[in-house]
Structure 1
Amino acid sequence: MFSPRIAFLDVDGTLIDAGEVIAPSTIDAVRTARQNGHLVYLSTGRAAVEIYPAIRDIGFDGAISAGGGFAEVGDELVIARTMPEEAVARMVGFYEESGYDFYLQSLTHLYPSPGVRARFATYLQQDRERRGDDRTDLHSVADLDEHPALKAFANVRPLSYSGIAKSVFLAGDLMAYDRVSEALSSEFHVITGTIPHMGTGSGEVTLSGVNKGSTILQLLDHLGIDAAAAIGIGDSSNDIEMLQVCGVGIAMGNATADIKAHADEITTAVLDDGVWNAFRRHGLI
């Protein structure tokens, strides 16, 4: 008897690498799994507006975005877990007093502080230099003329305190995570950042209890699917709860040792057919 599965895929470090290229086998794995009757969802810390068209065009059944802040089935928003406006104001006030760059994520907009675009330009250049152009079999998911993140972060609009699900802070201060955690963790879920090169100089903040894992459980309940049928695949600190709640939690080969310790098994790295091998092992393809 055919038993369909549902897979949740992180984006950065799982679907694509830090240089925002994707292995052709990953595209084939997603499309083949869906053709075979399984569901495949994105589960990302990115806001919905940061999921580039080239990623969406691969074809998914829906997406969890903003680290669990929102969940969509197809194009329908079914879960929104946003912060009270006064909580956003307190969080932003702390960032501004500390001199940290940051951006806020709503469903439809990003709200960056003025220094965010320059920081991302530096990260992208470092990624290009580190990656080189040795592999010609990979596909880029970003516009090579102007990177989508740079376009988004160039728009420094007045901040909105309503409809915000997550913030990301960026600082040269390697104590930033400790300071943000101390100041905000009584009300918020604070984790170290998932941006390359930043380490404890960056982090992600959602409302307490809001993470990919808890939103996956809400979405599964909405869909009428048991968590035992779910597969979660990720590589970073914001994937831990996802790996824990899914029937099978799979860490990428490029994940840190801490993330691997929370997984049931480990697949190969992001550009070494990691998603394909995981799907193959569990019979989705």
Structure 2
Amino acid sequence: MAQRLVFVDVDGTLVNHNQEVPDSAQEALAAAAAAGHQLVLCTGRSKPEVYPALLDLGFRGLVGSNGAYGEMDGAAIFDDRMPENDVAELASWFDSNRTACFWTTPDAVYSVHDFIDLFRPSDGVSEPTAAGDWTAYLRQIGPYVRTGVPKTANKVTFFLSAGLGARLADARERFGSRFCIVSGSMPQELGETGELTALGMDKSVGLKKMAARLGFAPDDTVALGDSANDIEMLRSAGTGIAMGNGTPEAKEVADWVTAPIDDDGLALAFEQLGLTHA
């Protein structure tokens, strides 16, 4: 079959809630790479949040921070950031609402109002706010965590606690006309999460830049994802596949839906597409 450029989301698509990659997914990725297809991680995570072992599964490229950063063969090829004045304005509003924030760049991550504590059990025993086992994630980002707010940033993820009053709708009303805001995946009873990038910035932007650089026609691109930040990528790819564990909105825009991540969803999708055969 013709060579394909395949974009794979990380959380909920490649990596499950316990930060594990199913064996079947690892095997499918290796087979697809051996068959000559080009693989690109396409994630909301920044580069410091991406486990190096993931790139070793056959991925040639990385699109991070919801399309704002990209690299190929380990070298940066684009790095689109919100400017200093925008970051300062956003940081002021978040601070006025005591909003836990996580600003990201290709070199560091900045935790404000204890954002990373959402991934830790509050007493060392109970479940963290973010569902799953995030031990590996905390270990990965540890060397890159900084305090304060960066001058420029690719993306900011924020958590609006139900007890503090501000809602995601308030952020959208204030900033939605000037920035791209998508909902996150924290349990809704505890609050709401959002992911904010520059206006017009989403994963489809990175997909198109990568495809153009590597000489792939849009019809020869494939995307797999599961959540709000994957929607534009699924729409833009020649074939968009939603995971069975995905949100209703992601499934609605996808060309078809595969099984959930822990039921070999990625491997089954690759098999159906014929990506695992030379």
What TM-score does the superposition give when structure 2 sets the normalisation length?
0.90
Offset at residue 159 of structure 1 (A): 2.1
Give the match for residue 283 of structure 1: 274
Alpha-carbon separation, structure 2, partners of 1:168 and 1:237: 13
Q: Does 1:269 align with 2:260?
A: yes
Alpha-carbon separation, structure 1, partners of 2:43 and 2:241: 15
Code of the aligned partner of 2:155: K
1:52–1:142 CA contact under 8 A, matched in 2: no
- Show structure 2 runs of 5+ residues with no match: none
Give the match for residue 204 of structure 1: 195
Give the match for residue 81 of structure 2: 82
Offset at residue 63 of structure 1 (A): 0.7
Give the match for residue 255 of structure 1: 246
Alpha-carbon separation, structure 2, partners of 1:156 and 1:264: 40
My pick for the range that moved more, 105-114 or 115-124, is 115-124
- Show structure 1 runs of 5+ residues with no match: 132-139
Q: Does 1:194 align with 2:188?
A: no
Alpha-carbon separation, structure 2, partners of 1:212 and 1:45: 8
Give the match for residue 45 of structure 1: 44
Alpha-carbon separation, structure 1, partners of 2:92 and 2:66: 22
Alpha-carbon separation, structure 1, partners of 2:202 and 2:211: 14
Alpha-carbon separation, structure 2, partners of 1:263 and 1:94: 35
Code of the aligned partner of 1:118: D
Alpha-carbon separation, structure 2, partners of 1:198 and 1:36: 45
| Cα pair distance change 1:175/1:254, threshold 3 Å | farther
2:221–2:239 CA contact under 8 A, matched in 1: yes
Give the match for residue 157 of structure 1: 147
Q: Deviations over 1:156-204 (max 9, x none)?
A: 4232112x11000012138521111111112100111134567861100
My pick for the range that moved more, 206-215 or 51-60, is 51-60
| Cα pair distance change 1:127/1:30, threshold 3 Å | farther
Three-state SS of the structure 2 residue aligned to 1:271 is helix
Alpha-carbon separation, structure 1, partners of 2:257 and 2:128: 25
| Cα pair distance change 1:200/1:68, threshold 3 Å | farther
Three-state SS of the structure 2 residue aligned to 1:201 is strand
| Cα pair distance change 1:200/1:235, threshold 3 Å | farther
Q: Aligned-residue CA RMSD in angstroms?
A: 2.5
Give the match for residue 126 of structure 1: 127
Three-state SS of the structure 2 residue aligned to 1:126 is coil
| Cα pair distance change 1:43/1:195, threshold 3 Å | farther
1:103–1:111 CA contact under 8 A, matched in 2: yes
Give the match for residue 236 of structure 1: 227
Three-state SS of the structure 2 residue aligned to 1:103 is strand
My pick for the range that moved more, 259-268 or 189-198, is 189-198
Code of the aligned partner of 1:213: S
| Cα pair distance change 1:233/1:59, threshold 3 Å | same
2:231–2:249 CA contact under 8 A, matched in 1: no
- What does 1:14-53 align with in structure 2 at a 5 Å threshold? 14-53=13-52
Code of the aligned partner of 1:17: N
Code of the aligned partner of 1:216: L
1:22–1:141 CA contact under 8 A, matched in 2: no
Q: Tell me how many residue pairs correspond in the alignment.
A: 272
Alpha-carbon separation, structure 1, partners of 2:25 and 2:223: 15
Offset at residue 53 of structure 1 (A): 2.4
Code of the aligned partner of 2:258: T
| Cα pair distance change 1:99/1:158, threshold 3 Å | closer
2:14–2:261 CA contact under 8 A, matched in 1: yes
